[in-house]
Structure 1
Amino acid sequence: MDAFDPITLEVYWSRMISIADEAATGLLRTAFSTIVRESNDFATVLMDRNGDSLSENTGGIASFSCILPQTTKSFLKRFPIETWQPGDCVITNDPWLATGHLPDFTAVSPIFFKDQIVGFAGCIAHSPDVGGALWSADCRELFEEGIRIPPMRLYRAGEINAELVDILTSNVRVPGPVMGDLQAQVVSNEVAVRRVVEFLEDTGLANLQPLSEALQARADLAMRRALAAVPDGTYRASIDADGFDEQTTHIEVAVTVAGETMHIDFAGTSPQIDRGINCVLNYTHAYAVYPVKCALDPFTPRNEGSYRAITVAAPEGSILNPRFPAPCSARQLTGHLLAGAIYKALADVLPESVIAECGGAPTMRALFSGMDHAGDRFSQVLFASGGMGASPHRDGLPTTAFPTNVGAGSIEAYESVAPLLVWKKQLRPDSGGAGRFRGGLGQIAEIEVRTPAPVRLSLLSDRRDHPAQGLLGGGPGAPAVISIDDGTRPHPKSRSTVAPGRRVTLLYPGGGGFGDPAQREPSAILADLRDGYITADAARKDYGVV
């Protein structure tokens, strides 16, 4: 760290982030699917030659950025560093090596400078299809969920691996968008490679290692200072979620703070099940450490050093550390719950730094798959979010995802690529939990199927029976509700068939409230009534206001 003065280090750090952002722009501008272009379900990361992260793009998925260095280190075990060549690109979607489910593809390329590898450029993007049983939660084992690609070279010295492409495109419903997004990931990495070479030429640095060590040391120091300010002790909490049918999900957490370190232990959590809501340890670790970063050190840019002071454990065979080949396609339905459990554990000791449970945690997804009027296959996911939990300082944000930061995107773009018509997408009144600060509102989405034949609908949802809970006296948000206009209620975590002309309505849950509702400012209640965020009945019931 002493090799760089603070000003130079800040300038270099900002440039590393800008390179990751430019790589992200390259991915966005060349991707085919709305999942990437509109909904932000991707991340780009710069790493040193050891696979440790230096920087990540500003708006990337936090769990991806935390996991990608681990995947790169797995690649280096499979392909030793001396075997890499300029123009290589290695990919995988193996859940246990990467992000926890098959739809996410990781792509990593080496960065050469003066004939030596100085680092790696990597990105992760959610693919529009991986074959198998759609993106679903009801499979019994991993092999049903789609094609699994072990670490393999998509490109070798600039030449594409045609055999791998043939295998992949032969096993997916929409090969054009799938390969289009993969090629966009390659482009993203190429942008990062060029910009890092330019950076080294501009600065005169021979490689990235001294800078990487300095940046990681700074991030590590910032987190350790934040942890040192937390009183030592073990803080416990538990939360429950819908799970799958009678198998409800129970999350048990013990957060132990000792000096400048924190250990998060999920002993006592539900065992793994034979449905696709299991959450592999990579994903568990990412969504345990990232909420802590948000609460304790929100302003220091993230890199490998940000998480060194935090360790995470989950029993093998649990729903947070399942054994292969457990199904895990909908792992976010479990992993997104961890922030709420950790914040609940820390609420008494850090009441000014945590938020209530989020209605958008876990995210609710609806995947429509079928044929359009031209006879072409489509597979389209509706990305939308429930309300964020309230904080000790303000109301929760409406229709905002956390701990993921995936977006919703343009409805016009969504409708342009599939025979689906969105009749309604609006805020859901009375969905935010009551409190001194109100939980964020969920939303109402109504979608009509306009296909020539029935479509398959795969739902990935929770919060039907276990709405987002408030903190320190705050009330719960509204639960999730999914219905079809023929009066049926489809299974919230399974696949069903929807006839042409039918409308699917999704009521996204609201976030939990924070603090005693009796302490809410009357002017805030009046503003909520005026804006339609709450009804008169809710004002009377929750706040005692006539």
Structure 2
Amino acid sequence: MSSRSNHPLSRIEYQVMWNRLISVVEEQAQTLVRTAFGTATREAGDLSAGVYDTKGRMLAQAVTGTPGHVNSMAMSTGYVLDKIPLAKMNEGDAFIVNDPWQGTGHLNDIVIVTPTFRRGKPVGLFACTLHVVDIGGRGIMGAANQVYEEGLYIPITKIVDRGEINEWLIDIIKANVREPVQVIGDIYSEIASNEVGGKRLVAMMDEFGLEHLDDLAEHILDHSREASLAAINKLPHGTYHNTMWVDGINGKTMELKAKLTIGPDGIDVDFAGSPGMVQLGINVPLCYTEAYTSFGVKCIVAPHVPNNAASLATIRVTAPEGSILNAKHPAPVAARSIIGQMLPDVVFGCLAQALPNGVPAEGTSCLWNVRLMGGMGRVDADPEVLKDATSFNVTGFHSGGTGARPKLDGLSATAFPSGVRNVPVEITETNAPVLIWSKEYRTDSGGAGEYRGGLGQVMEIETAENKPFAISTSFDRVVFPPRGRHGGRDGTTGRVELVSGKELSPKAHSSIPVGERLRVSMPGGGGYGDPMKRPVDKVVQDVEKGLVSRDRARDLYGVVITADFEVDVDETAKLRTRIAAE
């Protein structure tokens, strides 16, 4: 670091510039949200945006975005620079990649990297990622046995050359996806997003008289590293273990295993002992494993330290090569989020041993996105029936409940750890010929506890054009529920079915006949603490709001509530005394 940055006034200036840099990448992200074509970005916020120095180190990320994108995109810029050194880039260039092992873990996530120039010299790079609705192939949860079957695979390629779009590449992408308008529109949005970031960076450098970002980068990275290590070293050093069972595939459950070691120079997480790869797209490339593992650690240990190359470097993640958490090419990986988003809960179980009263209960964790489709080739039905059916592909982002926290209830119908928003049903109904008859909290799905787990939700969906449609499911927590903590009860498992009673697979492509209605019941989060310690008035409020039934209030909380929502004090006292004795 230069001597200038050690001057007190310079430290203040650098902090102002650091904050300004964060606002720059947030504007970059908001540009992406406001111009995107796909609902994943526009409505759910499934994206990332960040700025990098000339060495490819991430200096700042936007608050808007998901850990799986940001933390893995942090490495994408390095891969681009390895292939095309900054000295060979030109002003107006942009590069595209969706390699799962160099990007964000599966083909649907497209990364754009753009160099920024000031007065003819490169001063940094911007990168962004978003999830496109379709990338061809068999879909998120198809029967693909290799990544080649999962869609269009784009290696690092120049998509903009000195301001001119590579129309040949655009044509190839259009020809290989089912929703070319949405996909190409999203790619143009990414290019625009990086351009906005670059313009704002140059304006900032002009304002502060910066010829380069080198000193500012060192200030950001040094302080982030120091702050991260300071937070880590407040924890008791040692090694902690945890395991978690997940549903797996075809009735074969899986046990994820983690060893977390806290030491003076950071935290190491080792997933040795976790299962091997499978022939279905729930395998996880290491970049995605690193992304969600490090996010889970940061949430508990150093939540206020900004995310950048230095703060991430204090958390080191390993998994055996060829395991489900370090899948090797060409394994199918389209649904890598099913397993990958469970990893914060896995490391929470380790950290709970170091911080006994500082870690939430387990939540749904994996997303319960409703991927609907229709038309020829997308539905298992008579071609004659489908010949005039609307062809569509739409994804609604939806979530179960989160785990209860040490001093607060869990959040209902809220995505954690991904942080994406639920997509309004009106948007889905506008984009596809379906009717969503209901979308409501799932009573009794949150695990009982002094602090109640967040509720899942229930959705019922039917065709709007008298044609069969299909759902591609990629769900977990159907066999194993989110576990409670410190005496809290487990949350409720999820379920996919027809209203008529037929159960559907949580990881498959299923068709919904005309006249049938699809019901998706999402899991609830685990509870925290002894349910008998939950204040009676809070139990009454839960029952009044329909979050907890009277039966559960009596059986799990020992509170007897009358038809007019009054507490039967005598019966409650007797019941709680009996439960305590048991």
Q: Under TM normalisation by the shorter chain, which class is it?
A: over 0.9
CA change 1:7–1:267 in 2 (3 A) is same
Partner of 2:28: 23
Q: State the one-letter code of the partner of 2:329.
A: F
Q: In the alignment, is the contact (CA less than 8 A) between 2:139 and 2:334 conserved in 1?
A: no
Equivalent residue runs for 1:182-261 within 5 Å: 182-261=187-266
TM-score between both structures, scaled by the size of structure 2: 0.91
- Provide the rounded CA distance (Å) in 2 between the counterparts of 1:86 and 1:101: 29
User: For each residue in 1:431-453, what CA deviation from the matched residue of structure 2 results, as whole angstroms up to 9, or x when unmatched?
Assistant: 11111211011111111122453
CA change 1:73–1:444 in 2 (3 A) is same
- Provide the rounded CA distance (Å) in 1 between the counterparts of 2:540 and 2:316: 45
Q: State the one-letter code of the partner of 2:195.
A: E
Q: In the alignment, is the contact (CA less than 8 A) between 2:45 and 2:420 conserved in 1?
A: yes
Partner of 2:475: 461
2:362 is aligned with 1:357: yes
TM-score between both structures, scaled by the size of structure 1: 0.97
Partner of 1:316: 321
Partner of 2:396: 382
2:431 is aligned with 1:417: yes
Partner of 1:103: 108
Q: When the two structures are aligned, how many residues end up with a matched partner?
A: 545
Partner of 1:511: 525
2:442 is aligned with 1:428: yes
Return the offset for 1:249: 2.1
Equivalent residue runs for 1:90-129 within 5 Å: 90-129=95-134
2:381 is aligned with 1:367: no
2:302 is aligned with 1:297: yes
Partner of 2:183: 178
**Structure 2 segments unaligned to the other structure (5+ residues):** 376-385, 561-582
Q: State the one-letter code of the partner of 1:444.
A: V
- Provide the rounded CA distance (Å) in 2 between the counterparts of 1:264 and 1:3: 38
Partner of 2:141: 136
Q: In the alignment, is the contact (CA less than 8 A) between 1:174 and 1:377 conserved in 2?
A: no
Partner of 1:280: 285
| 1:384 match: secondary structure | coil
Equivalent pairs: percent with the same residue? Answer: 37
User: For each residue in 1:267-305, what CA deviation from the matched residue of structure 2 results, as whole angstroms up to 9, or x when unmatched?
Assistant: 010111111101110000011111111111112222111
Q: State the one-letter code of the partner of 1:443.
A: Q
RMSD: 1.6
- Provide the rounded CA distance (Å) in 1 between the counterparts of 2:90 and 2:390: 39
| 1:347 match: secondary structure | helix
- Structure whose alpha-carbon radius of gyration is higher: 2
State which of 75, 79, 83 in structure 2 corresponds to 1:78.
83
Q: In the alignment, is the contact (CA less than 8 A) between 1:451 and 1:500 conserved in 2?
A: no
**Structure 1 segments unaligned to the other structure (5+ residues):** none
| 2:354 match: secondary structure | coil
- Provide the rounded CA distance (Å) in 1 between the counterparts of 2:489 and 2:542: 16
- Provide the rounded CA distance (Å) in 2 between the counterparts of 1:500 and 1:60: 38
2:530 is aligned with 1:530: no
Q: Which has the higher contact order (CA 8 A, sep 6+)?
A: 1
Partner of 1:405: 419
Q: State the one-letter code of the partner of 1:58.
A: V
Partner of 2:159: 154
Return the offset for 1:24: 1.3
CA change 1:89–1:500 in 2 (3 A) is farther
- Provide the rounded CA distance (Å) in 1 between the counterparts of 2:423 and 2:470: 22
- Provide the rounded CA distance (Å) in 1 between the counterparts of 2:481 and 2:438: 23
- Provide the rounded CA distance (Å) in 1 between the counterparts of 2:390 and 2:558: 56
Q: State the one-letter code of the partner of 1:178.
A: V
Return the offset for 1:540: 1.8
Partner of 1:55: 60
Q: State the one-letter code of the partner of 2:53.
A: D
Q: In the alignment, is the contact (CA less than 8 A) between 1:431 and 1:441 conserved in 2?
A: yes
- Provide the rounded CA distance (Å) in 2 between the counterparts of 1:38 and 1:498: 26
CA change 1:486–1:408 in 2 (3 A) is same
| 1:362 match: secondary structure | coil
Return the offset for 1:471: 1.3
Q: In the alignment, is the contact (CA less than 8 A) between 2:240 and 2:259 conserved in 1?
A: yes
- Provide the rounded CA distance (Å) in 1 between the counterparts of 2:507 and 2:214: 46
Larger CA deviation: 369-378 vs 440-449: 369-378
User: For each residue in 1:289-332, what CA deviation from the matched residue of structure 2 results, as whole angstroms up to 9, or x when unmatched?
Assistant: 11111111112222111112111110011100012111111101
